[in-house]
Amino acid sequence: MKVKGTIVFAILFCIGFFYQNTVFAMVFTSSSNPIVNELGHARTKEQGFMTGFSYFLMNTFDQNPFLTPSDVVESDNSTIKALAQQLTDEKESELEKSKAIYSWIIKNIEYDADYYFQVQNLTNFNFDSAVETLEKRKSMCMGYAHLNAALHRAIGIEAKVVYGNEHAWNEVYLDGTWYAQDSTKGAGFVDTQNKKFIPSPSMDYFISKDLQKEGEYYW
- Name the pTM for this structure: 0.74
State the pairing for strand pair 23-26/41-44.
antiparallel
Per-residue pLDDT tens digits for 50-68: 444 444 444 444 679 999 9
CA dist., res. 50 & res. 2, Å (int): 21
pLDDT at 36: 44
In this prediction, residues 146-172 reach a mean pLDDT of: 94
Q: Is 124 helix (H, G, I), strand (E, B) or coil?
A: coil
- Looking at residues 164-171, what average pLDDT do you find? 87
148: nearest Cα among 140, 159, 139: 159
In terms of pLDDT, which residue wins out, 190 or 209?
A: 190
**Position with higher pLDDT, 85 vs 124:** 85
Annotated domain spans of the chain: 2-217
Instruction: Specify the pLDDT at position 124.
Output: 66
Task: Report whether 151 contacts 70 (CB < 8 A).
Answer: no
Q: 2-217, which class in CATH?
A: alpha beta
Gap between the Cα atoms of 49 and 2, Å rounded: 22
Under DSSP, is residue 182 helix (H, G, I), strand (E, B) or coil? coil
Q: Which helix (H) or strand (E) holds 41?
A: strand 41-44
User: What whole-number distance in Å separates Cα of residue 99 and Cα of residue 143?
Assistant: 18
Q: 45 pLDDT exceeds 90?
A: no
Residue type (1 letter), 67: L
